[in-house]
Amino acid sequence: MSITISDRGIQFGQHSLAYADFTRLCQGHLDYVPGTVDLEAKGARLSNSGFPDDGVKQFVFDVCHWGGGDRVRGIVLSRNTLSSIASRLRDAWGRLGNRDVEGALARVNQIIGLGQPSYASKHLRFLRPDICPVLDSFIQDALGPRSYVGLAADYERIATNLQQRGIANPMNRPRGQWFVGDVDMAIFYRVRYDPSRDATSVAVKSPDDADDAAVVRLYSRVRIRKVSTEAEQREFTIVPDAEFEQGRQTSLASALLPRALMGHSETHGRAAATNGADGVSGYWDRLFELLRRSEPRLELPRIPTTNWVNIKVRDWLPKYKLNVTTKSNIKQIGVSLMIYGAGHPDRFDRLGTQKREIEKAIGERLDWHGSVQTYSDLILWRRRSDPRDPREWSDQHDWLVEKLGLFLDVLPPFLRAIK
């Protein structure tokens, strides 16, 4: 698969973008992933100051957080010395001065745990946003296998076309410039978040003529107008947002609908009682399958029909449980320790006296949620994670399995101390 760049716009896969679309898409990324402008300024200050160790630590912290990779940050900072990270970033910066993006990426790829090339390319993007894009799995899936230098060259051609046509850039570059990093933001937003993109195409039986097959294009933002149950099949009436006011609608047999749409009702986003996280079928099934294979310390319950699940730990007292929660409305998932039973507020307070030691062992800050009527809890959140998007499930499940394992490793001595 490749990007076709023409006088009118670009095309890749099923995506077709006019140059005028880039303003909206770039702004969408800025709104959805805040901090981009400030992080570019930090990257410039870091390179101008010669990559001091304290600046390098903060830069790694900020870039990983920007990319949603807080777990990556912990691995990088624990498995590399700051001086070694600084040395590789400094060398990469020198190569970027010669526009050697491939050589720069090779140097940053030598940082242990940074990812090859996802988070390595994110660091380059904030050192030289004029010539460096981000190359991660979402872009690879959308554009096909690509070299970093090839991707940078394609994006630079697009940036030149945007500038020549006077397309407004929300990044407000001098003289109306478009950088490679700006093009990257627009294309990534289109691939990952853009609510106007086509979600999928499915073959269905036409409601008007049961003998004819129709291909109905579904959009990522849909309304389920009506749900009816008959003896043989359930029918959903789908109304794409763009056509909702015109009253165009299509009836679909539920067996042919994408699983991610099952369980919605006319509340347009509120989950019905289905086997899934926030109404998405299959989410818990996949997570539980991973946990069965990798975590024998957990006693898994039945597959839940809610957006949360409590999990018993085989060697823990019953008053302590682990919990997984998904929140699609604010795009977060979380792992928490639940403290039940008489005196749970007191045990929570005593655990809180060891907050610094616990968070140091976990490697991240926790949300010490406090006590409610029947339990107390502390939570580790992962933000910018939409449990209704099946494309994110693999990464989310890996994160949940990792953090559940981390809680199982870290918490037992602290819990024993508050008996």
**Residue 102 near residue 149 (C-beta atoms within 8 A):** yes
What distances in angstroms separate CA 7 from CA 25, 178, 181, 406, 408, one per listed residue?
A: 19, 17, 21, 52, 56
Q: What is the pLDDT of residue 277?
A: 67
Q: What is the pLDDT of residue 412?
A: 93
What distances in angstroms separate CA 296 from CA 113, 125, 284, 300, 313, one per listed residue?
A: 26, 41, 17, 9, 9
Q: What is the pLDDT of residue 139?
A: 84
Q: What would you report as the CA-atom Rg of the chain, rounded to the nearest whole angstrom? A: 24
d(CA 347, CA 337): 12
Chain segment 76-94, per-residue pLDDT in tens: 888 899 999 999 999 999 9
- Spatial neighbors of 314 by CB under 8 A, at least 6 apart, are 296, 297, 298, 299
Q: What is the pLDDT of residue 12?
A: 87
Q: What is the pLDDT of residue 113?
A: 82
d(CA 96, CA 51): 15
Q: Which residues sit opposite 198 in a β-bridge?
A: 219
CATH 3.30.1460 residue spans of the chain:
280-416
**Residue 32 near residue 65 (C-beta atoms within 8 A):** no
Which fold does the domain 280-416 belong to in CATH?
Yope Regulator; Chain: A, (3.30.1460)
Closest to 380 measured CA to CA, from 346, 334, 328, 324: 334
Q: What is the pLDDT of residue 280?
A: 61
Structure tokens at 413: 């001595």
Name the stretches of the chain with pLDDT < 50. 198-275
Q: What is the pLDDT of residue 281?
A: 61
d(CA 97, CA 78): 29
